[in-house]
Amino acid sequence: MADEAGLDSVWTYEVYRNPFAMLCTSALATSNIELCSGLATAFNRSPFEAANAAADVDELSGGRMKFGLGTGVPEFLESFHSTDFNKPIKRLSEYVDVLRRSWAYLAGEEVKPFDGSYYRFTAPPINPWGLREMVRPQIPILVAGMRPQMLKLCGAKADGWVGYLWTPKFFEQIVLPNIAEGARSAGRDPDGLDLACEVICCVHPDRDVALARAKKHVGFYIAHPVSDVVAEIEGVQDLVNELRVSMMQKGLAAFEDTPEELVELFSITGTPEECRQKLDNYQGLPHLALHTSYVPPFTAEESEDCYLQIIDAFKR
């Protein structure tokens, strides 16, 4: 539906479902739209497995895959995936190196061995299975990051960046300078990077419905500690801390009372006409992903309606 509506890209994420499997189904149902993982997690799978999964999407879609890559949520890594969150910058840096070596090897290129602290890659002397046909020798990697060190890694190693809770101040004072510093340290041109951000979008003909939905989603996201870098620079840390206290007392119901100030700051919310007008606030962002509300306690039916409302409001 997004493809037929003329949108540029569609994004999927990873909690329980596999984002590559979902994008493969999208590849079979679309013909033009870019297929982006926003994001797939690194530390729960090997780089070579991830390289092949992304190559599957790229093959089925005719080269429309963008690989949004993140470390993974620390709590899930430790509870579910038998690993941890130690040294995330170093680990993700090596991960990207091995991803690219994996694609180069599969494409038939001669690849130098890699022996890192966390990951290794060596082309076997004999591979009776041969290689695989690659649509492209490399697939674009967009690294997810919100804090300075991860943003610098993005500039130094990745083809682009993917973030969330975008504001002009955060983008101009935190994202761009750190990505540029990382790029220059590696002798790269920061202007060549693909910069994307997922922005919560709640559209509905009834503005009250849109606002109620946005409060739940914005509250859920801003309450996570990784969001503090944005809250601090926008001067709303006290509101966020109050929301966290309420969450400890009321659980998920606390997000129904997320202050409207946070909703206006961190989302595109309102009637279709209001939301289309609010796009003007994002002119400085090269790639805007309209983030469908899906977090608990949203039902599948509510999330589907959120998605359909976005497509109807922004179709070309």
The model's pLDDT over 131-157, given as tens digits with 9 standing for 90+, comes to 999 999 999 999 999 999 999 999 999
CATH of domain 3-201+277-299: 3.20.20.30
Query: Considering all CA atoms of the chain, what is the largest pairwise distance in Å, rounded to the nearest integer?
Result: 64
Packed helices 47-61 and 19-29: angle between N→C axes, nearest 10 degrees: 10
Domain range summary for the chain, segments of one domain joined by +: 3-201+277-299
Q: For residue 74, what pLDDT band results from cuts at 50, 70 and 90?
A: confident
Prediction pTM value: 0.95
pLDDT tens figures, 225-282: 999 999 999 999 999 999 999 999 999 999 999 999 999 999 999 999 999 999 999 9
Q: How far is CA 36 from CA 4, 8, 20, 116, 172, in A?
A: 17, 11, 9, 28, 24
